[in-house]
Amino acid sequence: MLWKKPKENNPEPLIATFDVLLVDLDGVVYAGERPISSAIEALTRAKESKTTAFVTNNASRTDVQVAELLQRLGLPWVNENLVVTSPQAAVRMLKKLVEAPANILVVGGDGVVDELQKAGYTPVRDADENPEAVIQGFHREVGWKDLAEAAYAIQNLGIPWIATNQDWTIPQERGIAPGNGTLVSAVHTAVGILAEVAGKPEIPIFHQALERFGITPENEDSKSRVLVVGDRLDTDIRGAGNTGLESLLVLTGIDGPKQILAATGNDRPTYIVDSLQELFEPYPQLQVSGNTYISGDARVRLVGDDIVIDNPGSKHTDLVRAASALIWESGRQIYGFNIPELLYSRQPKIDL
């Protein structure tokens, strides 16, 4: 799917365009278990008029545990029905491959175990317990033995292997830590095959979310009412693009201007904001005049291979919006440009 340009000439707040918000958690609502205050305030306001739900790749918690965490962080209205998890999507995929009841080898924690049990499967931890599939999800306590048992089962039994997600990193209070993708990669190195993936950026988790909230995945008109909100280009934004949904990248988590400018294909977000409070403001109209791109009062232009900043503007994000649109619409890769260092700076901070 090509980059979806923001709707132009719309004086209404950005949120008015949408009926359903599908919101990521890590890096958007919280970092570790510390809330991002602007997000808590914005989501509380959004739920008054919009279906505001949460879609997470983190497989370490159950949907009930995720809801309880969000309640503690300041969102008391959230219940498990508003939480879509990658283990839910993984078990949905599993049902098409293996009928319950069956033993399923688990790498991960409560999030995977709970969904398997609800679906009538028996979670096991040892390849000698005759599992009929492997589901691998993130948990902080996953160790070498867990990965080895998964490898033995996949190699020796030739059974399906489903990963809840392949996030390479996960934001924590102390910084960025290795995510489930690193653990999946370790098993892949041992067995020489690739896992089927349920979570973002793959489509299954988005279809699960759309159907839960009354959107028919094949209906383009109904999908146009949905906005995917995230902090990662390679999961949230790419997944939205893969599913044909519009997306918003918020600069409170993993990806920043450098990654935005270099984004290709479905990794390009429809909207870029500093915080979720900007959902309640009109989105700046992009203006193009020849090789000049303007967002707000920020102005950039292309001169040969040079991106020239005529006016950095009063808001750095406007500068990034204008420059990214220039690069994306040029049809050229980022390495074909000379880019001012100012564009790469990341001004917004996570407001914990």
Q: Please identify which of the residues 24, 231, 234, 318 carries the catalytic annotation.
A: 24
Task: Write phi, then psi, for 183 (nearest 5 degrees).
Answer: -75, -40
Residue 56 contacts residue 26 (beta carbons within 8 Å): yes
Examine the residue annotation and report whether 221 is marked as an active-site residue of this protein. no
**What tokens appear for 316 in the block?**
């750095």
Q: How far is CA 160 from the centre of its chain?
A: 25
Residue 155 contacts residue 136 (beta carbons within 8 Å): no
Residue 133 contacts residue 155 (beta carbons within 8 Å): no
Q: To 5 degrees, how large is the angle CA 236–CA 196–CA 253?
A: 20
Give the closest residue to 4 by CA, choosing from 247, 259, 320: 247
> What is the bridge-based pairing of β-strands 271-273 and 286-289?
unpaired
How far is it, in rounded angstroms, from Cα 324 to Cα 262? 8
How far is it, in rounded angstroms, from Cα 185 to Cα 235? 16
**What tokens appear for 245 in the block?**
């949904």
Examine the residue annotation and report whether 310 is marked as an active-site residue of this protein. no
- Secondary structure (3-state) at 111: helix
> Which ranges of the chain does DSSP label H, i.e. alpha helix?
37-46, 63-72, 86-95, 110-118, 144-157, 180-191, 203-212, 220-223, 238-243, 257-262, 316-330, 341-344
Query: Would you give the DSSP letter of residue 96?
Result: T
Q: Please identify which of the residues 26, 63, 114, 255 carries the catalytic annotation.
A: 26
Q: Tokens 């306590």 correspond to what residue?
A: 141
Residues involved in catalysis: 24, 26
